[in-house]
Amino acid sequence: MTPRKSAPQPAKRKKTGRGTAKELVIVTGISGAGKASALKAFEDLGFHCVDNLPLELLPDFAALVSNSSEVERAAIVVDVREGPTLDRLPEILKDVKKLLHTRVVFLDAQDAVLVRRFSETRRPHPLGLTETVSRSIVEERQLLDPIRNVADTLIDTSNFNVHELRTHIQSRFGARDGTTHLLVSCLSFGFKNGVPLDADMVFDVRFLPNPHFVPEFRKKTGLDPKVAAYVRGFPQTEEFLGKVTSLMLYLLPHYVKEGKSYLTVAFGCTGGQHRSVMMAEEMSWRLEKAGYQVKALHRDIVRG
């Protein structure tokens, strides 16, 4: 990036402590998926935030951030409230990305979850009152499909509450030190609750014997040492872990070289309680031992 000219009074410039690279995050997605909560999380991280910025002002806003001596990182919400001009976003993005580093974060959730959220909050869907919420969601998905296709990050908020979504945003966008790094999230989940939309890689571990059918393990999870030892005790477990570890250690340096900042590796079993939890914990330990920044997340473990 071309060095910025020094301001007349550098002492007055705000210090973020996170480096100097300019960054713009465009938050979009399905109504009810948590865009407002996500924007608050970005604001807590020090982003300059704007909700529902008119799309035609996006290039000017990007230029303002690029030239500002005060704003290092910004986040805006662009969604279906924009109206008919929304389909121009992919085209406008091309110009915006020439000005500064830009990422599009698309929030989504399962239809049943969205309907429940609208029912609980008693808020109308942005597309109006003439259709049912279910029908409005279908229509909104069609309108947002072109934007979803250009998104850099997909986040499924179906199983997040407000606090969990905030934690997820902070874990993915909070770290910033001006150097190239990669945060790897090892995520466990249950296939019966759906595959995580934001997973970069998914491994199905349902081929392993299920501790659920062992009475003493049924009410425990893969975090329990005895359950973990039971799953690890099968030869196919160690063989699988060895092969996946080798694959990850091959891939991760290439992801770092390409500038990827976040990688989510998901392990799924039937309910997300035993096998996948053990696998996510073990892989997290192995990758951390290899020198990577890693965290283990368990999406469905609380459902047990």
SS (H, E, C) 144-209: HHHHHHCCCEEEECCCCCHHHHHHHHHHHHCCCCCCCCCEEEEEEEEHHHCCCCCCCEEEECCCCC
Does residue 123 share a domain with residue 218? no
Neighbours of 113 (CB within 10 A): 18
Tokens 């081929």 belong to: 207
- Report if residue 5 sits inside a domain: no
For residues 123 and 28, membership in a common domain is answered with yes
Choosing from 144, 173, 202, the residue where a domain stops is 173
- pLDDT of 92 > 80? The answer is yes
In the chain, the number of structural domains is 2
CA distance 150 to 145: 9
The predicted pLDDT at position 131 comes to 78
> Which residue from 147, 168, 146, 145 is spatially nearest to 156, judged by alpha carbons?
168
Residue 14 domain-assigned (yes or no): no
pLDDT over threshold 70, residue 48? yes
* Whole-number Å distance between alpha carbons of 191 and 196: 9
Is there a single domain that holds both residue 80 and residue 162?
Answer: yes
> Both 288 and 213 in a single domain?
yes
Q: How far apart are CA 169 and CA 178, in angstroms?
A: 19
- By residue count, the chain amounts to 304
Rounded Cα distance, 60 and 92, in Å: 11
Q: Which domain holds residue 106?
A: 19-173
Residue at 12 is within a domain: no
Of 154, 173, 192, at which residue does a domain stop?
Answer: 173
The predicted structure's pLDDT at residue 265:
96
Same domain for 160 and 195, yes or no, is: no
| Amino acid letter, 208 | L
Considering the domain architecture, whether residues 149 and 242 belong to the same structural domain is answered as no
pLDDT band of 14, cuts 50, 70, 90: very low
Between CA 273 and CA 193 the distance in angstroms is 12
295 DSSP 8-state letter:
E
Distance CA(203)–CA(189), nearest Å, equals: 10
Residue 178 lies in a domain: no
The pLDDT score that the predictor gives to residue 178 is 45
Put the strands of the sheet holding 101-108 in their side by side order: 48-51, 73-77, 23-29, 101-108, 153-156
- The whole-number pLDDT of residue 302 equals 67
Question: Which of 148, 173, 198 is the endpoint of a domain?
Answer: 173
Q: What is the pLDDT of residue 293?
A: 85
The 3-state DSSP class for residue 2 equals coil
| Position 176 confidence tier, pLDDT thresholds 50, 70, 90 | low
Is 193 a residue whose pLDDT tops 50?
A: yes
Instruction: CATH number of the domain at 74, please.
Output: 3.40.50.300
210 pLDDT above the threshold of 60: yes
Q: Provide CB contacts within 8 A for 1, sequence distance 6+.
A: 21, 22
Same domain flag for 158 and 280? no
In a domain, 8, yes or no: no
**Phi–psi pair at 187, nearest 5 degrees:** -110, 130
Residues 200 and 169 grouped into a single domain: no
Asked if the model's pLDDT at residue 255 lies above 70, the reply is yes
pLDDT at 260 exceeding the cut of 50 = yes
Mean pLDDT over 133-162 rounds to: 89
pLDDT digits (tens, 9 = 90+) for 56-84: 899 999 999 999 888 889 999 998 888 88
The answer to the question of residue 191 being in a domain is yes
Same domain? For 156 and 202 the reply is no
Residues 48 and 169 in one domain: yes
For residues 132 and 67, membership in a common domain is answered with: yes
Do 89 and 203 have their domain in common? Answer: no
In a domain, 293, yes or no: yes
Residue 119: the pLDDT is 86
Residue 102 has pLDDT above 70, yes or no: yes
13: in domain: no
